[in-house]
Structure 1
């Protein structure tokens, strides 16, 4: 299957914002919240099972992000479409933005994307997302409420046949301050928490932080939860209950240090 040249693609696909008036300084960001594969792109040549798998989204991440946002009274912004159409944590010039292969899966609909199609997807999905998140952040800054940016992701227990022991990964971009505070508080969770695991900025996974938090010198961190720990709505809520106090403690530590 070759990618269609959908230069007249429908859109824009706007980001979803929940609790926009939240009083917490935290803005939770969930770039891989959805496995939706809308027209004009369709299923990209994948099976139904593949579209439910981690290659299409981060299972459990949106439910966890919502649980955290409720507990902290924070704003949440999340993606409207699958990362296989456009991965919103990747820049337009990165191969992973519209991957031809993800983990061990070929993505037929991404195998031969024209420049016109890359532009169409960027205009329909990435630019509305990037502008929406930037506008949210800039408005908070203008009001004298400098936000804290926390992105929420999930990862697979087994990657390329190798089991992962880490359960809670805390990743940072240029400034490790908030990530270190979260790590210091994470002993209360009972989770195997590690810094810059299972990914780090060296793996090009901090695009959102690099683009939206670092230029404004905003506190930021990327949280990765192993997805077998948030595999049901009940597990998502339990994990949110476990992590919310950790984030609150880290924020208080940063306030005292400021």
Structure 2
């Protein structure tokens, strides 16, 4: 365990339903607002630490419902993204953001290289390595995994309302996103967009690249407006919708592969 974490803090990463038989590996990088004991409060108020800057409200709850619906293994980070955002590489400033939206993060300002390394070793490396081992093990067993990361976003950002309700994001491999978006055209009453409210240019697809594109497996990132999943009822509605979209997407990929066994992605993420 990294020096940053105490025995009382527990492990950096958690895995649920390791015995799952479905192809999907669910990932929730921003599952928790918990801060390690040695970090303190980062100089923030309780209200700030419970807000969207510290975690993705509702995302883990939706993941757990999806895990059941899809018989999928779930991997998630147990500590706040303010300490280390596991959807960012160590060299990114936003991995340990000194500012998040309108909030300054006093405890993240002026970090020394040693302090950044301590956080990286305690939180990012265990998360990265755990997920990489899981993907590799599935592939070694002859089970083609599919990587699905789940996030939520605030309905108002820098004072501006966001119309989009569900974002389907991708990097260079758009296969699963394309199929889900096609399936989503038949879903009334929900505003679904491609690469919204963020996209690859915003640096939000690190996990997809690191564990999906580079591994040559289908992958997609889901962004849900957090007011829609603030309560259990909304979480269940959204999980059911996502299960339908993912089910349709996975079926479409299977059909495509059956028609053209040579299709797919090479290890470097390029289309064959």
Tell me, yes or no, whether TM beats 0.5.
Answer: yes
Tell me the distance in 1 between the aligned counterparts of 2:45 and 2:218.
40
Correspondence 1:127-146 to 2 at 5 A = 127-146=125-144
The answer as to 2:253 corresponding to 1:254 is yes
Tell me the distance in 2 between the aligned counterparts of 1:60 and 1:110.
25
**TM-score, scaled relative to structure 1:** 0.95
Report the equivalent of 2:231: 232
Report the equivalent of 2:46: 48
SS of alignment partner, residue 119 of structure 2: helix
Report the equivalent of 1:210: 209
The answer as to 2:4 corresponding to 1:9 is yes
Report the equivalent of 2:192: 193
Tell me the distance in 2 between the aligned counterparts of 1:72 and 1:8.
36
Q: 8 Å contact 1:13–1:80 — kept in the other structure?
A: yes
Tell me the distance in 2 between the aligned counterparts of 1:216 and 1:101.
32
SS of alignment partner, residue 55 of structure 2: coil
The answer as to 2:147 corresponding to 1:159 is no
SS of alignment partner, residue 21 of structure 1: coil
SS of alignment partner, residue 212 of structure 1: helix
Tell me the alpha carbon deviations over residues 55-110 of structure 1, each in whole angstroms, 9 at most, x when there is no partner: 00000000011111110101110111000000000000000000000000000100
Tell me the distance in 2 between the aligned counterparts of 1:219 and 1:243.
16
Residue 95 (structure 2) aligned to one of 88, 94, 97: 97
Tell me the distance in 2 between the aligned counterparts of 1:136 and 1:189.
33
Report the equivalent of 2:241: 242
User: Shift of residue 189 of structure 1?
Assistant: 3.3
SS of alignment partner, residue 150 of structure 1: strand
Q: How many residues align?
A: 252
Higher deviation after alignment, 146-155 or 230-239: 230-239
User: Shift of residue 8 of structure 1?
Assistant: 4.2
SS of alignment partner, residue 185 of structure 2: helix
SS of alignment partner, residue 65 of structure 1: helix
SS of alignment partner, residue 196 of structure 2: coil
SS of alignment partner, residue 38 of structure 2: coil
What are structure 2's unaligned runs of at least 5 residues? 258-272
Tell me the distance in 2 between the aligned counterparts of 1:133 and 1:56.
22
Correspondence 1:81-96 to 2 at 5 A = 81-96=79-94
Tell me the distance in 1 between the aligned counterparts of 2:244 and 2:67.
12
Q: 8 Å contact 1:188–1:246 — kept in the other structure?
A: no
SS of alignment partner, residue 216 of structure 1: coil
Report the equivalent of 1:3: none
What are structure 1's unaligned runs of at least 5 residues? 1-6
Q: 8 Å contact 1:29–1:78 — kept in the other structure?
A: yes
Higher deviation after alignment, 179-188 or 85-94: 179-188
User: Shift of residue 234 of structure 1?
Assistant: 2.3
User: Shift of residue 176 of structure 1?
Assistant: 0.8
Q: 8 Å contact 1:152–1:222 — kept in the other structure?
A: yes
The answer as to 2:171 corresponding to 1:173 is yes
